């Protein structure tokens, strides 16, 4: 695959995306084309950085910390959370990502090398970011649409957490759907990146499948931890929104 052909193919796909989103008049239609451009720049820098990082445990740790901070900032800004919640978001991403990673390597499911720590950790952090953002948006929307239900429970004497339990569960269930479907359809509908990358890297199909299965299980565990922490922090609202409002 040449650099020129890659650039041409990516440019063509960006044009297709831009035409569609602008034609549909979606909110912030420039976001999708810009995301591809930004990804290209970031991947180029990543390729240069990893050449000197991937064999060093210290630098892998630094790189994973940078990933956690970047993912936390993305969740924080996407959900437009109050400034005081930023430390919680960082802790959420770090804890939800770290526990599955530590468990996998402690049990010896994957070789404890800087290369695998970076690969597995990076995948898990990215998915925690996605699940947390989705959970936050769904919870904010459902606290608004389910206001009457929550108020009914409050009128019966329920605590704020108990009153919002129904909408919190609904938001959490929906937030896990993409990860669950990805896991359920692996090998039938999709060929996951970790599996394909391992095969192309020279690993046997069986070893690649084992690694992919661990990755998928880790993603689900990390996502479950993320929504549990989001529910704990935002699932007992002090006030109910009258209009679309960020979580507080």
Q: What is the tens place of the pLDDT at every residue in 88-142?
A: 999 999 999 999 999 999 998 888 888 889 889 999 999 999 999 999 999 999 8
Within a domain: 239: no
Q: Are residues 139 and 16 in the same domain?
A: no
Domain end, chosen from 18, 35, 53, is at: 53
Whole-number pLDDT of residue 110: 86
| 43 plus 74 within the same structural domain | no
Sign of CA dihedral 70, 75, 80, 81: negative
144 and 195 co-located in one domain = yes
Q: Is residue 194's pLDDT more than 90?
A: no
Whether 109 and 156 map to the same domain: the answer is yes
243 in a domain, yes or no? Answer: no
For residues 4-10, average pLDDT: 84
Q: Which domain holds residue 28?
A: 1-53
In this structure, is residue 246 part of a structural domain?
no
124 and 72 within one domain: yes
**What pLDDT is recorded for position 193?**
67
Structure confidence at residue 218 (pLDDT): 93
Tell me, yes or no, whether 125 and 25 share the same domain: no
Q: Do 45 and 165 share a domain, yes or no?
A: no
pLDDT at 200: 62
The predicted-structure confidence for 201-233, as pLDDT tens digits, reads as follows 666 777 777 888 888 899 999 999 999 999 999
The arithmetic mean of pLDDT across residues 58-86, rounded, is 92
User: What confidence score (pLDDT) does residue 59 get?
Assistant: 85
In this structure, the answer to whether residues 80 and 37 fall within a common structural domain is: no
Q: Please, what is the Cα angle at 150 between 147 and 155, to 5 degrees?
A: 120
85 and 136 in contact (C-beta within 8 Å)? no
Say what the pLDDT of residue 217 is: 92
Model-wide pTM > 0.75:
yes
Q: Per the domain annotation, does 248 fall within a domain?
A: no
Range among 19-23, 49-53, 119-123, 129-133 with highest mean pLDDT value: 129-133
Give the per-residue pLDDT at 6: 81
In this structure, is residue 245 part of a structural domain?
Answer: no
Structural domain contains residue 178: yes
Give the mean model confidence (pLDDT) for residues 136-149. 88
- pLDDT value, residue 72: 96
User: Does residue 228 share a domain with residue 127?
Assistant: yes
Lowest mean pLDDT among 22-26, 42-46, 146-150, 194-198: 194-198
Give the C-alpha separation, 35 to 78, whole Å. Answer: 14
Q: How many structural domains is the chain composed of? A: 2
Name the pLDDT band for 242 (thresholds 50, 70, 90): low
In a domain, 242, yes or no: no
The residue from 12, 35, 53 where one domain ends is: 53
Residue 247 lies in a domain: no
What's the sign of the alpha-carbon dihedral 203, 10, 186, 223?
Answer: positive
225-229's contacts with Cβ under 8 Å and 24+ in sequence apart are 225/95, 225/96, 225/99, 225/100, 225/128, 226/92, 226/93, 226/96, 226/128, 226/131, 226/132, 226/135, 227/131, 227/132, 227/135, 227/172, 227/175, 227/176, 228/172, 229/92, 229/95, 229/96
């Amino acid at each position: 695959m040449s650099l020129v052909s890659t650039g041409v193919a990516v440019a063509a796909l960006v044009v297709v995306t831009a035409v569609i989103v602008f034609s549909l008049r979606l909110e912030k239609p420039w976001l999708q084309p810009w995301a591809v451009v930004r990804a290209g720049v970031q991947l180029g820098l990543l390729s240069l950085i990893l050449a000197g990082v991937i064999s060093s445990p210290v630098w892998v740790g630094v790189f994973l910390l940078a990933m956690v901070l970047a993912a936390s900032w993305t969740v924080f800004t996407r959900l437009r959370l109050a400034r005081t919640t930023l430390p919680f978001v960082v802790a959420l991403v770090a804890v939800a990502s770290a526990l599955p990673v530590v468990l996998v390597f402690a049990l010896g499911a994957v070789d404890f090398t800087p290369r695998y720590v970076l690969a597995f950790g990076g995948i898990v952090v990215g998915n925690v970011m996605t699940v947390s953002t989705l959970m936050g948006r769904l919870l904010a929307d459902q606290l608004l649409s389910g206001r009457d239900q929550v108020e009914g429970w409050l009128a019966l004497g329920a605590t704020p957490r108990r009153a919002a339990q129904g909408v919190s569960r609904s938001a959490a269930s929906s937030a896990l759907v993409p990860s669950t479907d990805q896991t359920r359809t692996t090998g039938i509908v999709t060929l996951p990146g970790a599996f394909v990358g391992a095969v192309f890297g020279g690993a046997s199909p069986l070893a690649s499948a084992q690694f992919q299965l661990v990755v998928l299980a880790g993603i689900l565990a990390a996502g479950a931890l993320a929504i549990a922490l989001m529910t704990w922090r935002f699932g007992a609202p002090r006030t109910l929104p009258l209009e679309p409002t960020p979580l507080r």
